[in-house]
């Protein structure tokens, strides 16, 4: 099921993250050509292109750039974006029947907030140009977003109720989700070994770590030894401190060694794919299970958000049944 949060999102409002659009293909249909018509109201090619570009930006952000080599939107992505635009239009058409009296003032306030994200008017205008938007068009998008939000808050959300019994049942059925696993805070000294290193090179690295371990056991400051000798660029400057971590955060040999130590103890030499380590545990946190009272507000909020999503989805489905929707796929 597609996310209602995306249905409600007017992505082009978030201009601060907008990518500069390339020049339009001469063979492309004009921006005002409809890609769909919902109850006589067109969704234009320009609207679709902006929403698709925003969708792709979100997609790349959510996947950290590792998006399966998807450089161009596929047909499924295009269909999802068009469906979101149709759903948004249906909600907008319903919202127009009961607009808040101060909507114009809300639009101006939101517009000023967006402008405030830019250092000056010129930067704001450049962002508008990059999205092929005018200030008037942007205000129209903001107006839609605020009107739909008001409609949801006044006509749908009041009917969404989650009982304490539902909250407690969710807790009982998902107790494992409310457990904080065992954690340790540790520091380490790493002497790196390159992949494919010879036995002689490995031996030298292991000997160096063993000598540093012995110095730590003889009373030298572990953090100072790490700062001077560790070859882990991420932690050496901090005296080798890795902060608190759970078992699954570290490679198995390292985790096994660290979690076997008591606070203040120093490990034997540990070999991982990175090289040789000596580890010192400084603090431990045992696994804890959070009681119902600790997490009930968090569960309540989650269940209410989920129920609201479902209620909006049901309303959109109802509106679709009575709507006249015509797709013009040749313009996508």
- In SS3 terms, 64-99 reads as CCCCCCCCCCCHHHHHHHHHHHHHHHHHHHHHHHHC
Mark whether 279 and 307 lie in a shared domain: no
Cα 93 from Cα 180, distance rounded (Å)? 46
Mark whether 277 and 304 lie in a shared domain: no
pLDDT of residue 322: 92
Which residues have C-beta within 8 Å of that of residue 26, sequence separation ≥ 6?
Answer: none
pLDDT of residue 59: 80
Mark whether 104 and 208 lie in a shared domain: no
Cα 50 from Cα 29, distance rounded (Å)? 14
The owner of tokens 């234009």 is: 44
From residue 29, alpha-carbon distances to 141, 287, 329 in Å are 22, 60, 12
pLDDT of residue 14: 38
Over its length of 332 residues, how does the chain's per-residue pLDDT go in tens digits? 333 343 344 333 334 333 323 333 334 445 678 999 999 999 999 889 888 888 888 887 776 544 445 567 888 889 999 999 999 999 999 999 999 999 999 999 999 999 999 999 999 999 888 887 889 989 999 999 999 999 999 999 999 999 999 999 999 999 988 988 999 999 999 999 998 899 999 999 999 999 999 999 999 999 999 999 999 999 999 999 999 999 999 999 999 999 999 999 999 999 999 999 999 999 999 999 899 999 999 999 999 999 999 999 999 999 999 999 999 865 55
62 lies in which domain range?
4-164+297-331
pLDDT of residue 60: 75
Which residues have C-beta within 8 Å of that of residue 331, sequence separation ≥ 6?
Answer: 29, 33, 34, 35, 45, 48
Q: What is the CATH number of the domain that holds 8?
A: 1.10.4030.10
Cα 30 from Cα 24, distance rounded (Å)? 9
Per-residue pLDDT of 306-326, as tens digits, reads 999 999 999 999 999 999 999
Domain count, the chain: 2
The answer to whether residue 277 sits within a structural domain is yes
Q: Phi, psi (5° rounding) for residue 251?
A: -65, 150
The HSE-up count of residue 78 (CA atoms within 13 Å, CB side) is 14
Per-residue pLDDT of 80-92, as tens digits, reads 999 999 999 999 9
The answer to whether residue 169 sits within a structural domain is no
Q: Which residues partner with 37 through β-bridges?
A: 42, 326
pLDDT of residue 50: 86
CB 33 within 8 A of CB 24: no
Mark whether 76 and 110 lie in a shared domain: yes
The answer to whether residue 173 sits within a structural domain is no
Q: Phi, psi (5° rounding) for residue 281?
A: -90, 130
Mark whether 149 and 272 lie in a shared domain: no
Nearest-CA neighbor of 99 among 40, 132, 145? 145
The HSE-up count of residue 167 (CA atoms within 13 Å, CB side) is 18
Mark whether 111 and 28 lie in a shared domain: yes
pLDDT of residue 70: 59
The answer to whether residue 130 sits within a structural domain is yes
Mark whether 303 and 281 lie in a shared domain: no
Mark whether 149 and 13 lie in a shared domain: yes
The answer to whether residue 208 sits within a structural domain is yes
Q: What is the CATH number of the domain that holds 199?
A: 3.10.50.40
Mark whether 209 and 249 lie in a shared domain: yes
Mark whether 29 and 71 lie in a shared domain: yes
Specify burial of residue 208 (Cβ count, 10 A radius: 0-12, 13-18, 19+): middle
Mark whether 13 and 63 lie in a shared domain: yes
> Cβ–Cβ contacts within 10 Å for residue 293, how many?
7
pLDDT of residue 69: 52
The answer to whether residue 177 sits within a structural domain is no
The answer to whether residue 175 sits within a structural domain is no
Mark whether 208 and 316 lie in a shared domain: no
């Amino acid at each position: 099921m597609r996310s209602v949060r995306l249905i409600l999102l007017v992505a082009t409002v978030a201009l601060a993250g907008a990518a500069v659009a390339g020049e339009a293909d001469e063979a492309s249909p004009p921006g005002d050509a409809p890609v769909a018509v919902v109850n006589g109201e067109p969704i234009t090619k320009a609207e679709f292109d902006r929403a698709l570009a925003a969708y792709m930006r979100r997609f790349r952000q959510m996947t950290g750039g590792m998006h399966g080599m998807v450089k161009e939107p596929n047909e499924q992505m295009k269909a999802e974006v068009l469906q979101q635009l149709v759903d948004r239009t249906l909600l907008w058409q319903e919202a127009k029947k009961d607009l808040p009296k101060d909507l114009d003032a809300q639009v101006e306030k939101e517009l000023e907030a967006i402008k405030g994200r830019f250092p000056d008017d010129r930067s704001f205008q450049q962002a508008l140009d990059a999205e092929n938007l005018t200030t008037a068009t942007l205000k129209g998008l903001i107006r839609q977003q605020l009107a739909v939000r008001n409609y949801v808050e006044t006509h749908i959300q009041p009917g969404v109720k989650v009982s304490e019994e539902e909250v407690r049942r969710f807790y009982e059925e998902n107790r494992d989700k409310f457990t904080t696993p065992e954690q340790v805070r540790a520091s380490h000294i790493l002497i790196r070994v390159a992949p494919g290193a010879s036995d002689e090179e490995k031996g030298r690295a292991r000997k160096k770590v063993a000598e540093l371990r012995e110095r730590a056991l003889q009373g030298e400051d572990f953090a100072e030894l790490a700062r001077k000798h560790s070859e882990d660029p991420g932690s050496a400057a901090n005296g080798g401190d890795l902060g608190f971590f759970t078992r699954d955060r570290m490679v198995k040999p390292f985790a096994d060694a660290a979690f076997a130590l008591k606070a203040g103890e120093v490990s034997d030499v540990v070999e991982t794919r990175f090289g040789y380590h000596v580890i010192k545990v400084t603090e431990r946190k045992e696994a804890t299970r959070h009681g119902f009272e600790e997490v009930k507000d968090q569960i309540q909020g989650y269940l209410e958000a989920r129920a609201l999503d479902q209620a909006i989805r049901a309303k959109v489905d109802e509106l679709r049944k009575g709507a006249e929707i015509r797709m013009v796929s040749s313009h996508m």
